[in-house]
């Protein structure tokens, strides 16, 4: 009998099949982990905006709360009411970790929201907070008029 060198086609096919089975199990878990990380980042962003809005309203009481993220964003020099230097440039851009983030403010109230850029892929839940500072979530896109849902954990 001749001594065989290398692997047979059947052996290679079995190895490829095992690798595909492992990948089929691992990829959904990876996607869920990425969504969870994006949602945690969105909650943290909302918490940062709540703190920044409170600081802004205290610093500029004649204006109340900031009307946009840009007003809370980094300044090119001395902070002003148009560039308060309370949040970083990534958050001030309005897009972070698969979420679209925005804030609206008036003299007496504000609203901050974070909605997934691609629902179901970058995140499942939307998050918001109002002047009371309680972060809430819901499964669909959150509108400024309805910051309802369960407190985020």
Q: What digits encode the pLDDT tens for the residues 36-66?
A: 999 999 999 999 999 999 999 999 999 999 9
Q: How many residues does the chain have?
A: 153
Q: Number of helices and strands (H, E) in the chain?
A: 3, 6
Torsion (CA) 104, 63, 73, 45 in degrees, nearest 10: -40
- pLDDT above 70 covers a percentage of the chain that reads 90
- pLDDT above 90 covers a percentage of the chain that reads 74
Q: What digits encode the pLDDT tens for the residues 135-148?
A: 999 887 666 556 65
Instruction: Report if pTM > 0.85.
Output: no
Q: What is the pLDDT, as a whole number, of residue 153?
A: 45
């Amino acid at each position: 009998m001749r001594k065989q060198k290398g692997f047979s086609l059947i052996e290679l096919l079995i190895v490829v099949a095992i690798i595909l089975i492992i990948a089929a199990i691992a990829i959904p878990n990876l996607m869920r982990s990425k969504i969870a990380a994006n949602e945690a980042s969105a909650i943290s962003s909302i918490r940062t905006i709540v703190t920044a809005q409170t600081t802004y309203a205290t610093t500029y009481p004649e204006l109340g709360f900031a009307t946009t993220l840009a007003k809370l964003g980094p300044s090119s020099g001395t902070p002003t009411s148009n560039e308060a230097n309370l949040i970083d440039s990534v958050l001030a851009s309005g897009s972070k970790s698969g979420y679209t983030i925005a804030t609206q403010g008036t003299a007496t109230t504000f609203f901050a929201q974070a909605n997934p850029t691609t629902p179901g892929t970058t995140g499942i839940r939307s998050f918001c907070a109002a002047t009371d500072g309680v972060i809430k979530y819901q499964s669909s896109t959150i509108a400024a008029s309805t910051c309802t849902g369960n407190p985020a954990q």
